[in-house]
Amino acid sequence: MAQHAPSGSRGPGTLAAHTALRAAHAAYESKFGHVFVVCLDSVPHKEVLGHVLAAIRARLDNDAETEREVAAEELRRIARGRLAHLAATRPHGT
C-alpha cells in the first residue's frame, strides 16, 4: 500500500526528507530494537516532518538506557494528551 506524506509535508525537499526519515527509522530500530515514538501534540502540522527527523537524529546518539527513559516519557505524553482530549470531549454527567 502506498504511503502519503501529510498534507503539510509537500513541496521541495519533501521526498528527500521522507527518504532521510526512512533511513533514520531503520537506523533507530536497528540500534534500539523497537520503533521510534515521539509525541507531536504541540507541533504545528507543517513542522511535523522536520520535527520527527530532528528528534530521531538527536535520539540516535542516546545510549539504550537513556533512550528507554526518553521513549517512556514520550509514551506518557501521548497518553496524557489522549486522556485530556477524551475528558474534554466527553459529555458532562455520563
C-alpha 49/C-alpha 7 separation (Å) is 11
Tell whether 65 is covered by a domain. Answer: yes
Tell whether 1 is covered by a domain. Answer: no
Residue 1's pLDDT band, with cuts at 50, 70 and 90, is: very low
Structural domains counted in the chain: 1
93 vs 89, higher pLDDT: 89
Tell whether 5 is covered by a domain. Answer: no
Closest CA to 23 of 66, 43, 44, 52: 52
Question: How does pLDDT run across 31-74, given as a tens digit for each residue?
Answer: 999 999 999 999 999 999 999 999 999 999 999 999 999 999 99
pLDDT at position 9 is 55
Task: Name every residue whose Cβ is closer than 8 Å to that of residue 44 and which is 6 or more positions away in sequence.
Answer: 8
Tell whether 6 is covered by a domain. Answer: no
- Its domain, for residue 49, covers 11-89
C-alpha 2/C-alpha 9 separation (Å) is 16
C-alpha 45/C-alpha 6 separation (Å) is 8
Tell whether 24 is covered by a domain. Answer: yes
pLDDT greater than 50 at residue 3:
no
Tell whether 25 is covered by a domain. Answer: yes
What CATH code is carried by the domain that includes residue 43?
A: 1.10.3330.10
* 56-to-11, 44, 52, 88 alpha-carbon distances in Å: 22, 17, 6, 31
